[in-house]
Structure 1
């Protein structure tokens, strides 16, 4: 159930204290400096989706600071992904400063000091989760805080699109689905961090391996679809086509090659079934997503050293082989 906080009904004087309390309760202990003489009203709507706390915040100009004195060794460490929707934010952490505009996002780590300044009325959606839930190296994350990610290209675009969608459906999914959606979001963020740090070439990347398992499962469940392609597969899994090809390269194959091999294997098995002769080669090929009979025949011969028809006849009991005298 969402938690809604608004200072709209308060006097300008009372808004300062109430807003500071709302910001700290929603995120982590923060210093808040409102930049208007008479503070504008602010609203925070928060909800949970698995390990994610998703909060939409809109308010007037302000600076929020996570100073070292607000950080204690007993605090749980959080990562906050902030997707900017209106206004411009200037963020500082780990010796860097970045400007985040609408459609862009950035990362903050609550275990170290940071500052964010918004000079105009703004709106953003944040996604906060425990640091230990993200499977990336601490040093890699540290090098990407206060960095602007443009949500219009590559894996950053996939992540931005996915988390924006999560914010829209939070109230409509049950806990079990919510936990799985949150895990996928963190997988996508880990993918982005690994990509930016040049770690996708690691042959034993846990993130890539887990993603490959999910992708292969999807392919197996959709082998019969003739429109199955790298583009449609990447879209379903909220990843770039480039990354999809990358994880298959790590597995020593290609997307198209793996799909073709699985389809051919299913056809090979079906051609050995008792009623295969009655069903026919063309029907079996279409059953597993082959549109062109000629293409199927060539691919089958390349894979197994004989045509589908030859394989079918080869697998028949002697008494059922066409053109032979059953009584002989």
Structure 2
């Protein structure tokens, strides 16, 4: 039975029940004295790691359904009287690499993220960057649906993602994504195994990316760089990015500020040339790793070390990217390069 990312494997009497193609966790299947601990374990691992508190442990209830659509995980969650606190320590020790958009269906949730508190009533949407601390407080019964995906799938800089998490409801695209989530959950059992399910998930990533860009789209005043010809600005940005290619903390705001233009203007420049700055960065990083893998000076370095040294977040994401770009995994490439005396091109 498939267990979605973030949901723990069965332990003791925690039961995961398969209903159609959805994996369901339901405290109703447990003895009353086991429900709070089981729900705390599932709620914590769903967000990577967190502290979980109950208004009344004796009345703890939770039910979770999960479906996979390619790169997107869809969740429907019911809980009662539950607080989830993901602290800075959790973020440091258990990074998640996840971004989620959630629509509140029933009940009210108080959510605090980046020092801003908001109340999500039925119909409201919110966003969570799981690699930043947050607190979600659910008093009484709460029902929500969520789209979860890897931050790397969004292919957007962290500062854009963080900005969007604070202003999601201000975007005119929010109702569209909200309706998509509700409609997808309503049909999930019937379409999860459809041949087009993975493409539907990828479309969901595109919709969330558009929502994030829209929500983070407040445009600063343009500086002196706005008057430079687009080709010159692009060449200057490429030079800057190559100099900072290995940095995982490089942000879009930094690149734009270094060239005296707004973030929106910067993205428009790349788009007008049919390019994506994030894809360009990934391509350059992949070429860097390919050279490092073939370099005898790095023969004792692990794949993970080379990936991180080249600016990738983790080895698994890097390996997927490398294979997609070159048709072989990094280990095979390294072996071929060694066999050819480091001359593979």
TM over 0.5: yes
State the match for 2:143 in structure 1. 123
64, 77, 81: which one aligns with 1:57: 77
Offset at 1:130?
0.7
CA distance in 1, matches of 2:169, 2:207: 13
Mapped contact 2:64–2:78 kept (Cα < 8 A): yes
CA distance in 2, matches of 1:168, 1:200: 35
Offset at 1:78?
0.5
- Secondary structure of the corresponding residue to residue 203 of structure 1: helix
Q: Which runs of 4+ in 1 moved over 4 A?
A: 199-202, 204-210
121, 125, 128: which one aligns with 1:108: 128
Mapped contact 1:81–1:107 kept (Cα < 8 A): yes
**Are residues 86 and 42 of structure 1, via their aligned partners in 2, closer, same or farther at CA, if it must alter by over 3 Å?**
same
CA distance in 1, matches of 2:180, 2:57: 38
Mapped contact 1:71–1:112 kept (Cα < 8 A): yes
Provide the aligned length of Structure 1 versus Structure 2: 208
State the match for 1:154 in structure 2. 172
Offset at 1:10?
2.9
250, 268, 286: which one aligns with 1:203: 268
State the match for 1:220 in structure 2. none
Mapped contact 1:78–1:130 kept (Cα < 8 A): yes
Higher-Rg member (1/2): 1
State the match for 1:140 in structure 2. 160
State the match for 2:208 in structure 1. 189
CA distance in 2, matches of 1:207, 1:74: 39
The C-alpha deviation readout for 1:10-67, integer Å capped at 9, x for no partner, is: 3433111110122234332121111125224221111111111111111211110111
Mapped contact 2:168–2:211 kept (Cα < 8 A): no
89, 111, 114: which one aligns with 1:94: 114
Tell whether 2:99 aligns with 1:34: no
CA distance in 1, matches of 2:110, 2:274: 36
Mapped contact 2:76–2:145 kept (Cα < 8 A): yes
Offset at 1:205?
5.8
- Secondary structure of the corresponding residue to residue 55 of structure 1: strand
* Normalised TM-score (structure 1): 0.57
- Where in structure 2 are there 5+ consecutive unaligned residues? 1-20, 218-262, 276-345
Offset at 1:80?
1.6
**Are residues 182 and 12 of structure 1, via their aligned partners in 2, closer, same or farther at CA, if it must alter by over 3 Å?**
same
Cα RMSD (Å) of the superposition?
2.6
Offset at 1:6?
0.7
CA distance in 1, matches of 2:273, 2:176: 16
* Normalised TM-score (structure 2): 0.55
Mapped contact 1:56–1:126 kept (Cα < 8 A): yes
State the match for 1:320 in structure 2. none
Tell whether 2:147 aligns with 1:82: no
Q: How does 1:1-328 map to 2 (within 5 A)?
A: 1-72=21-92, 75-147=95-167, 149=169, 154-173=172-191, 174=193, 176-198=195-217, 202-204=267-269, 206=271
CA distance in 2, matches of 1:104, 1:110: 19
The C-alpha deviation readout for 1:43-99, integer Å capped at 9, x for no partner, is: 111111111111111121111011122224663410121110001111111121111
Mapped contact 1:170–1:178 kept (Cα < 8 A): no
